[in-house]
């Protein structure tokens, strides 16, 4: 893009660094910002610096929060004896959105991936084990992804949890609701048959 002014160019470059944003979208976003009032622009700018400066990990579950503990850990209605272990805060949000889960979480902040140099010590597995040791936990749901990294992470944690004699579960994998059987991929269909349930 031939930006004739430096502040506009700089702004578009900032947007262009974001995931899924190309040159054209970045330009459109920069011109959107130019249409903001100084107050609106300040709010936008503050939202960016606030998110980075105010958010840190919940001292219990490692979810992001601006307080010492997150609203889920602080909620007395949540069942503290079930921990759903997820890779990222986005995964936590996806489970929350279902409205089906009333337990608490543990965010690993990654999954074991030797190819990317991410080992167990880079995740919050130690913190999870401390919770298992010190809290009254009945069940751990290992809701890591179903790809290689996620499966590896789940198996690694499962092994560490064995001495505690807990109920350790994994979400059901099968045909997505609404999908026609013929369009399910082999691995998913295989898992669905393997994990079949009484009707």
Chain residues binding its own copies by CB under 8 A are: 1-8, 10-11, 13-14, 17-21, 25, 27-34, 36-38, 41-55, 63-66, 70-72, 89-90, 92-93, 96-97
- The least CB distance from residue 197 to its own copies, in Å, is 28
Q: What are phi and psi of 146, to 5 degrees?
A: -95, 15
Which helix (H) or strand (E) element contains residue 46?
A: helix 38-54
CB nearer to its own copies: pick between 13 and 139: 13
| Angular region, 20: left φ>0, alpha ψ -120 to 50, beta rest | left
Rounded-to-integer distance, Cα 71 and Cα 68, Å: 10
CB nearer to its own copies: pick between 58 and 140: 58
3 state SS of 69: coil
- The least CB distance from residue 151 to its own copies, in Å, is 23
CB nearer to its own copies: pick between 51 and 187: 51
DSSP 138: -
Beta strand pairing call for 79-86 and 139-142:
parallel
CB nearer to its own copies: pick between 96 and 151: 96
- The least CB distance from residue 12 to its own copies, in Å, is 9
């Amino acid at each position: 893009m031939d930006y004739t002014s430096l502040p506009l160019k700089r702004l578009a470059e900032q947007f262009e660094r974001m995931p899924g944003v190309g040159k054209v979208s970045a330009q459109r976003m920069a011109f959107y910002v130019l249409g903001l009032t100084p107050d609106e622009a300040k709010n936008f700018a503050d939202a960016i610096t606030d998110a980075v400066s105010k958010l840190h990990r919940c001292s219990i579950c490692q979810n992001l929060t601006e307080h010492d503990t997150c609203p889920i850990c602080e909620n007395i209605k949540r069942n503290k004896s079930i921990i759903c272990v997820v890779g990222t805060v986005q995964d936590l949000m996806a489970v929350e959105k279902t409205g089906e889960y009333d337990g608490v979480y543990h965010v690993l902040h990654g999954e074991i991936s030797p190819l990317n140099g991410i080992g167990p010590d880079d995740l919050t597995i130690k913190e999870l084990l401390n919770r298992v040791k010190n809290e009254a936990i009945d069940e751990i749901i290992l809701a890591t992804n179903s790809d290689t990294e996620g499966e590896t992470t789940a198996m690694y944690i499962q092994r560490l949890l064995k001495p505690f004699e807990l109920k350790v579960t994994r979400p059901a994998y099968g045909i997505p609701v609404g999908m026609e059987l013929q369009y399910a991929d082999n691995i998913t269909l295989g898992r669905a048959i393997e994990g079949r349930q009484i009707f």
